[in-house]
Amino acid sequence: MKINFRVYILLLFGLVNTLGLAFIFPQVSRSQNAKVNCPTPALESFVRHQVNRGENLETIAQSYNLKPESIIAMNPNLQNGRLTVGSNILIPPYNGIVIEVPTGQTWRKLGAQYKVRPDILFELNGCQSPGKLAFIPVVNGKRYRPTIAKSPTQPSANATNQPIQVSSYPLSTPGKIALPYGWQINPADNEVFFHSGIDLLANKGSKVQAIAPGTVVLAKEQGSYGNLVIINHSGGLQSRYAHLDNINVTPGQQVQAGDTLGVVGTTGAPNFKQPHLHFEVRSRSSLGWVAKDPKIYLQK
């Protein structure tokens, strides 16, 4: 049985639309900026699929005319092979990825970066200027690889599923998770957004440390992330440490688990004011670096 939900209706109001008519005749008013004739934005056209006995990622992807990678990109937990009968997974309307849009981006720039026509991006994303998140369609086998993935230490793609040895915690003492990973509702404006990491509460100035050995591939101010450190690890994994007050490492530097990368701060555009570390773990895939739930790695 397939149950169609419009994701944000589901999240905000818990309403079920079993007929799927909402996809053809959107009933919920969108941003006033959206043009009347604009198709329903891709981000509002996700559906939920309840996993039936006998189904696997391939058969589900086929039934929606999608590639399995597109479904994994929206459901990072599926990379661990967790496809449990009765669970719900998010199905995107097209093959593609959801990105957090860096500040100051235009559809023209994003189109050039991802090799997609800017007018397609405009239409798929509600016929308005880029917001915090954007849906980027990935066309027939065309793969987007962030330039950051071109580090010389980057392992080959077939090493993607090897487990990483996480031997350290990103803070010197465990912090409470103030905002978990995944789809969240922003209490400030009731907007649904995808939180690509976890927010760990910590005092400003607390040491931020590498979770595993690796190579620093980025260490600078980066839009809403603020001061950001990105480390590539073996096994096709990457960790990101954001909103730092200052940074102690430089790109190309090799770090060991527990090495200090910088200290907790409030730089960039954190989701809330209280000082915290925004921490991400990403896995390399054919669609780029896909955010995973960091909690899974910290529980070892």
Q: Which residue has the tokens 């739930």?
A: 293
> Applying CB under 5 A, which part among 120-128, 134-142, 200-208, 277-285 lies near Zn ion?
277-285
Taking the least distance from each CB to Zn ion, the nearer of 93 and 197 is 197
Binding-site residue total for Zn ion (CB under 5 A)? Answer: 2
Instruction: Give the one residue of 66, 96, 166, 199 binding Zn ion; rule: CB under 5 A.
Output: 199
Q: Which two tokens stand for residue 214?
A: 């690796």
Nearest distance from C-beta of residue 195 to Zn ion, angstroms: 6
Q: Do the beta carbons of residue 73 and residue 95 sit within 8 Å?
A: no
> Applying CB under 5 A, which part among 83-91, 127-135, 168-176, 192-200 lies near Zn ion?
192-200
Taking the least distance from each CB to Zn ion, the nearer of 8 and 181 is 181
Does residue number 240 form part of the binding site for Zn ion (CB under 5 A)?
no
Nearest distance from C-beta of residue 280 to Zn ion, angstroms: 8
Instruction: Give one DSSP letter per residue of 245-284, joined into a string.
Output: EEE---TT-EE-TT-EEEEE---S--SSSS-EEEEEEEEE
Instruction: Give the one residue of 233, 278, 282, 292 binding Zn ion; rule: CB under 5 A.
Output: 278
> Applying CB under 5 A, which part among 5-13, 109-117, 166-174, 198-206 lies near Zn ion?
198-206
Binding to Zn ion (CB under 5 A): which residues in 132-191? none
Q: How many CB atoms lie within 10 A of CB 77?
A: 17
Taking the least distance from each CB to Zn ion, the nearer of 44 and 199 is 199
| Rounded Cα distance, 236 and 213, in Å | 13
Distances in whole angstroms, Cα of residue 194 to Cα of each of 27, 124, 293: 23, 18, 12
| Rounded Cα distance, 252 and 204, in Å | 26
Exposed/middle/buried for residue 39 (C-beta within 10 Å: 0-12, 13-18, 19+): middle
User: Where along the sequence are the contacts to Zn ion (CB under 5 A)?
Assistant: 199, 278
